[in-house]
Amino acid sequence: MSYNIEKIRSEFPILSRSIEGKPLVYLDNTATSQTPRRVVDAVVSGYCDFKANVHRGVHTLSQKATELQEESRRRVRDYIGASSEEEIIFTRGATEAINLVACSFGSLFPRNGEIILTVMEHHANIVPWQLLQSRRPDLKIKVVDINDRGELLLDQYRDLFNENTCMASFCHVSNVLGTVNPVKEMIGYARSKSVPVLVDGAQAVPHMRVDVTDLDCDFYVFSSHKMYGPTGIGVLYGKKEHLLRMPPYQGGGEMISHVSFEGTTFAGLPFKFEAGTPDFVGIGALPKALDFMDEIGVENIAAHELELMEYAEEKMREIPGMRIFGNSPHKSAVVSFLVGDIHHYDMGMLLDKLGVEVRTGHHCAQPLMQRLGISGTVRASFAAYNTLGEVDSFISALRRIIPILS
Ligand code: PLP
């Protein structure tokens, strides 16, 4: 199939706008991707045609809203290869999903349990475990390091396991280095030690086919807004055997079976973990984002993005003083870099003046920055709708601003 970039771009209204009088070149896709018209239309329709609270009414609108939400759950189940919709919990994002697991599943950890993380984690996969540790000072966090290419030290990973290890939690793809971790192998090793695994797939699901049954992970999390979907929703996949044992994370409406002052019983899965009114409009629109990805084929999207990244990296390496962080052969379409001693913030500001939107700073990965001995990077990241022409604009903008900042 040929990659019809013009057709793809025509679905994204924002791509025709300009910044500072220059055509927008949006290269901040790792932070959030743009949204195709069909998703926006589904959100508008959710508000204009179907808005009523879910699971609470006998009336037509409530039933339709509920149907859209539950249809979305089944679609997500199929999209990630889960075996039951009871294993799909809607959250506010990957962050909330990890907090849910750390709080609820973490409350079941044995005394002196040890949690294995990696140095390349987003704060979302560090701080929830630290919060748990602040309530449970007996728990220990151990961290896997990386090599010079930005790949995990797998020998060290294996060596960190012992009889106290109660959890391993790591990203599928690094949001800074782009490294695609060998998660299947890592899960397999944890499984051989009977240690449950959470995979943070926030940067994986937008770029590759993920099958949680094939991976055999215990938990998998991701965010809709990074994969062409609405903001404010995310997914927690959890194995049913764990979810059944886990206590509720938040209390309120929707997650109960019966409430009295003498005691409360909880709803079944997945509702036990969905207290309060969810973003049912956004959830109802999420399948449109999956349709968008399916129509192109996520493998085709990834191949296109990698072509852009390789082209960008080749051009960037010709620039004197260029340092690219993350050089694994297994890499997703993210380029983090610095040039000479130019501050990442200054570079981001000037790129913006030329219409190029990149992210600067620590990318919510301060421990990784510390490991790399830097305060931050400039990060360009690619999505389905980016073009080689945009890479050229980015490179020529870089070449224009570097002499000004040097
Ligand atoms: N994990 C990774 C690897 C991320 O890149 C991000 C966001 O950038 C998150 C978790 C948190 O996602 P959210 O802010 O959508 O909850």
CATH number at residue 360: 3.90.1150.10
pTM above 0.95, yes or no: yes
Q: Are residues 87 and 158 in the same domain?
A: yes
**Phi, psi (rounded to 5 degrees) for 258:** -150, 135
Report whether residue 124 contacts ligand 1, using a CB cutoff of 6 Å: yes
pLDDT in tens, 37-52: 999 999 999 999 999 9
Same domain, 383 and 254: no
Phi, psi for 45 (deg, rounded to 5):
-65, -35
Residue 370 in this model has a pLDDT that exceeds 90: yes
> Which residue, by CA, sits nearest to atom 5 of ligand 1?
175
Please tell me if the CB atom of residue 171 comes closer than 6 angstroms to any atom of ligand 1.
yes
To the nearest whole percent, how much of the chain has pLDDT over 70? 100
Compute CA distances 164 → 119, 157, 191, 236, whole Å.
20, 14, 14, 25
The pLDDT tens digits of the residues spanning 179-222 come to 999 999 999 999 999 999 999 999 999 999 999 999 999 999 99
Give the integer Cα–Cα distance in Å for 284 and 406.
49
Residue 25 has a pLDDT of: 98
| 262 and 366 share one domain | no
pLDDT score at 43 = 98
Q: Is the pLDDT of residue 1 over 70?
A: no
Query: Do 184 and 245 reside in the same domain of the chain?
Result: yes
C-alpha 59 – ligand 1 centre gap (Å): 37
Domain identity same for 117 and 246: yes
Assigned domain for 132 exists: yes
| pLDDT of 56 higher than 90 | no
Residue 340 has pLDDT above 70, yes or no: yes
- 262 and 388 assigned to the same domain: no
Q: Which of 293, 310, 344 is the endpoint of a domain?
A: 293
What is the residue range of 242's domain? 40-293
Q: Decide: 305 and 384 in contact? Cβ < 8 Å.
A: yes
Q: Which of 239, 263, 293 is the last residue of a domain?
A: 293
Kindly state whether residue 219 falls inside one of the protein's structural domains. Answer: yes
The residues assigned a catalytic role are: 364
What's the whole-number average pLDDT of the chain?
A: 97
Q: According to the model, what pLDDT value does residue 2 have?
A: 83
CATH value at residue 162:
3.40.640.10
Domain count, the chain: 2
> Are 30 and 98 contained in the same domain?
no
Task: Identify whether residues 92 and 237 lie together within a single domain.
Answer: yes
Domain boundary among the residues 293, 308, 338 is at: 293
Q: Is the CB of 169 under 6 A from ligand 1?
A: no
Asked whether residue 406 is assigned to any structural domain, the reply reads no
* Cβ of 165 below 6 Å from ligand 1: no
Tell me the per-residue pLDDT of 295-317, one tens digit each, with 9 for 90 and over: 999 999 999 999 999 999 999 99
319 belongs to a structural domain: yes
Same domain, 229 and 160: yes
58 Cα–ligand 1 center, Å: 37
pLDDT digits (tens, 9 = 90+) for 220-260: 999 999 999 999 999 999 999 999 999 999 999 999 999 99
The mean pLDDT of 112-138, rounded to a whole number, is 98
